[in-house]
Amino acid sequence: MTLIHVPRPSKMARNPDRPVSSLLLAQIQHLQHAERRLPLRYRTEIYVHAVKTEGEAARYIREVTEAIHQAHADAAAQRAKHAARRKPGLAIAAAAERPARKRRSKTKTKSSKSKRKKK
């Protein structure tokens, strides 16, 4: 396998005081949309319209991402807790076979009756 050399990012790549780009603003809007669906205890106290620098954007993104991960971890733990409380064993719902459908007998239609009368 051929190794590909990837150069380290320059010091200019990360500048927390740089004004936030439109790409980061779009990402912040998407994260804010996701954050609104979280329970109140997981939401951040950051006012996203006040985010003006890359450092502030990074802080908001980190906090929302951690909150989403924590909410999912807590939900998984809650599901495991409820699963442990259930009685061990196999739970099968009883189901009866459906009755066979009755076939309709072929009835004569009006058009066939009128044809007979005409003959």
- The residues spanned by each domain of the chain are 14-85
DSSP classification of residue 19: B
Sequence-distant (6+) residues with CB within 8 A of 50 are 56
Q: What is the pLDDT of residues 33-82, one digit of tens each?
A: 999 999 999 999 999 999 999 999 999 999 999 999 999 999 999 998 88
- Across 18-27, 90-99, 100-109, the highest mean pLDDT is recorded for 18-27
**67: closest CA among 95, 91, 40?**
40
pTM of the prediction?
A: 0.62
- CB-based contact 39:78 (threshold 8 Å): no
Q: Is the pLDDT of residue 86 over 90?
A: no
Work out the pLDDT band at 115, boundaries 50, 70, 90. low
Please state at what angle helix 54-85 crosses helix 22-36, rounded to 10 degrees. 30
Tracing tokens 């954007």 back to the chain, one arrives at 57
CB atoms within 10 A of CB 27: 15
- Name the pLDDT band for 90 (thresholds 50, 70, 90): low
What integer pLDDT is reported at residue 84 of this predicted model?
A: 78
Residue 63's pLDDT is 96
> 91 exposed, middle or buried (CB, 10 Å; 0-12, 13-18, 19+)?
exposed
